[in-house]
Amino acid sequence: MWMVFVLIIWGLMVGTESSTLTSQLEMEANAILNSGWWNTSLAYYDISYRCNWRQISCNNAGSIININIDGLDTSMGGNNFETLNLSTFRNLESLVIKYVGLQGTIPKDIGLLSKLTHLDLAGNHLKAKMPLSLGSLRQLKYLDISDNFLQGSIPHELGFLKNLITLDLSLNSLEGAYGSVYKAQLPCGKVVALKKLHSFEAEVPSFYESFRNEYMEKGSLFSVLYDDVDAVEFKWRKRVNIVKGVASAISYLHHDFTSPIVHRDISSGNILLNNEWQPSVSDFGTARLLQHDSSNRTIVAGTIGYIAPELAYTMVVSEKCDVYGFGVVALETLMGKHPKEILSSLQLASTQSMKLCQVLDQRLPFPNNAMVLLEIIRVAVIAFACLNFNPSSRPTMIRVSQSFATELTPLTVPLNEITLQQLMSEELKALFHIVNH
């Protein structure tokens, strides 16, 4: 009798759980239908197959975890945000609706999305104030509501977002990717990067005070490299550590989100340095959330000299575009100038026979510490691997970060005799654990 009772209870629990899941999926489907955002009269937008739509992805249970609508979705422009019942999407992890002319205000029930880690509403026509409920998104790591028509002060509830890494609140699209970056200290003490705003009324003292000083006191990596006084202070260990830090930051964008984020403008001008010579990858105005089931075609964005060559003819953006930009920055950091001459003649025997010591920044003395020189050689090997003309032959950024974390192995050849050709060899790539993925 007791066993029968247990089985009945278990059956009721399973039935209830199944019923709850079915109810959740039905609510999500109804929210999609009632929003009017998708033309469900078209065969492609059959609501039963919503998990296969370009703008939506689901978990194994069929619940929506990702909504990604960008400027490519021209048929979805001008929708009102409030017609989408956000409260039904309890499993949503990433919400990207950018540059589609989204109207209305940011709904208060956005705060119910407790699993949300990525929120990007940039480039729309959203008005009124930021809802206080944004402070309830405790898992949020990336918040971009730039280039809208929001008014009022930043709610102090943002101070509850202790996982927040990137915050972009800029209102002027002209400043977008190139605006000044300031330090903003949230009430909890968390320091985040905040783009220069078009207009800003700060009622929170910690925000107001932060605007008196630039966030990254050293400025950009570009400005340091091209200033003879700063460049001399920019010793080899500092340069190597900055390259490592940038690699880690890009790896985070590519591999630590539900969908990879491709920056699309990795350049020395977009790497900011603080007083401790610690780097931050800045300017996400060109960033793009990748969808692996779509073509990811795009207009060419980025800084001339750092754009991956394949974008010129394929127009397809991928993580390997950032890998190429990183390779340019890494080599530029070692050389003290943009490596355009080397990149344009890399296939020539005369270039390949050049020694590494000939291309290093001549404003600094040649490193006399063997371990420092070995670190420099590793950076150079990784840089050239990232600059491979074939994107599939470039390493992933997580592989680059892992390579920097491995213990250095002494070389059998004189370090000051190493040529560029040797730096590009499979032997040295294997030695430093740079393999193609």
Please report, for the domain that includes residue 288, its CATH number: 1.10.510.10
CATH code of residue 117? 3.80.10.10
365 and 278 in a common domain: yes
Whole-number Cα distances in Å, 292 to 265, 385, 391: 20, 24, 16
- Decide which of 178 and 334 is more confident: 334
231 and 162 in a common domain: no
142 and 50 in a common domain: yes
d(CA 269, CA 251): 19
φ and ψ at residue 146, rounded to 5 degrees: -70, 165
Length of the chain (residues): 437
425-434 mean pLDDT: 90
pTM of the shown model:
0.55
CA atoms within 13 A on the CB side of 102: 29
Taking residue 155's Cβ as centre, other Cβ atoms within 10 Å add up to: 17
Answer whether residue 362 is part of any domain: yes
- Picking from 177, 209, 233, the residue at the C-terminal end of a domain is 177
Q: What is the pLDDT of residue 3?
A: 53
Listing from the earlier edge strand, what are the strands of the sheet with 191-195? 56-58, 64-69, 94-97, 118-120, 142-144, 166-168, 191-195, 181-185
267 and 405 in a common domain: yes
Range list of H helices, 257-396? 311-314, 319-335, 340-344, 349-352, 356-359, 370-386
- Decide which of 310 and 296 is more confident: 310
pLDDT over 90 (residue 258): no
244 and 171 in a common domain: no
153 and 46 in a common domain: yes
pLDDT over 80 (residue 2): no
Q: What is the pLDDT of residue 255?
A: 81
Under the banding of pLDDT at 50, 70 and 90, the label for residue 17 is: low
For the chain, give the longest Cα–Cα distance.
89
pLDDT over 60 (residue 291): no
d(CA 143, CA 279): 20
Strand partners, 144: 120, 168
* 361 labelled catalytic: no
Answer whether residue 54 is part of any domain: yes
Answer whether residue 14 is part of any domain: no
Answer whether residue 350 is part of any domain: yes
Residue type, 426: E
365 and 243 in a common domain: yes
* 327-353 burial code (b ≥16 CB/10 A, e <16): bbbbbbbbbbbbbeebbeebeeeebbe
Residue type, 230: D
Answer whether residue 194 is part of any domain: no
CA end-to-end distance (rounded Å), the chain? 59
- Picking from 177, 212, 234, the residue at the C-terminal end of a domain is 177
Residue type, 7: L
- Decide which of 364 and 278 is more confident: 364
pLDDT over 50 (residue 210): no
249 and 391 in a common domain: yes
With a pLDDT cut of 90, the percent of the chain lying above it is: 39
Q: How far is CA 408 from the centre of its chain?
A: 29
Catalytic: which of 70, 120, 144, 265?
A: 265
318 and 229 in a common domain: yes
367 and 244 in a common domain: yes
Taking residue 161's Cβ as centre, other Cβ atoms within 10 Å add up to: 22
Closest CA relative to residue 305, chosen from 279, 272, 266, 273? 266
Domain count, the chain: 2
Domain that holds residue 301: 221-432
Answer whether residue 62 is part of any domain: yes
For residues 153 and 202, the answer to whether their CB atoms sit within 8 Å is yes
pLDDT over 50 (residue 6): no
Answer whether residue 241 is part of any domain: yes
Q: What is the pLDDT of residue 123?
A: 82
Answer whether residue 204 is part of any domain: no
383 and 236 in a common domain: yes
pLDDT over 60 (residue 211): no
232 and 115 in a common domain: no
